[in-house]
Homo-oligomer: A and B are copies of this chain.
Amino acid sequence: MKGIILFGHGARNPEYIEPFRRIQAVVAAKLPGVPVEIGFLELTQPPLETSIECLARRGVTHVKVVPIFFAPGRHVLKDLPQLLGNAIDLHPGIEFEVAECVGVVDGVIEAMAAHAVAGT
């Protein structure tokens, strides 16, 4: 059974989670039956570890982590592999896959550019 985690940075503002919830809702609607969790590196709840734990309890055996980052920096290249290294030890029955950062994907680049252009 597959599961998806949207992995974000986190922030102090409690409303920061809202756009992540919107992505989660769209993904869940497109993939009925596939659990979709949100997990953060810091500041915003829940942490990535908790999201993985939730999927493990639901019997997920393959987790795709989607970094909701604009570009691969330290958080994606160093912090995420470290967190997943710990997760592999804790959940040996789960296979982890890391998708590309959303920010390097053509369709996302196009959509961001369209927003920048809108009204100009």
State whether the Cβ of A57 lies closer than 8 Å to any Cβ in chain B.
no
State the copy count for this chain: 2
- Cβ-defined contact, A31 with B71, below 8 A: no
Partner of A11, one of B12, B13, B31, B71: B71
Q: Are A11 and B109 in contact (CB under 8 A)?
A: no
- Our pick among B36, B64, B120 for the contact of A31 (Cβ within 8 Å) is B120
Jot down 23 A-B pairs with beta carbons below 8 A, ordered by A.
Answer: A16-B70, A16-B72, A17-B71, A18-B71, A18-B104, A19-B70, A19-B71, A19-B101, A19-B103, A20-B70, A20-B71, A22-B109, A30-B117, A31-B117, A64-B116, A66-B115, A70-B70, A99-B115, A102-B112, A105-B112, A107-B111, A108-B111, A110-B111
Q: How far, in whole Å, are A99 and B115 apart by their CA atoms in the complex?
A: 9
Bound CA span A15–B103, Å: 12
Contact partner of A108 among B66, B73, B77, B112, CB < 8 A?
Answer: B112
**B residues less than 8 Å from A105 (CB atoms):** 111-112, 115
B116 touches A23 (CB 8 A): yes
Residue of B nearest to A108 (CB): B111
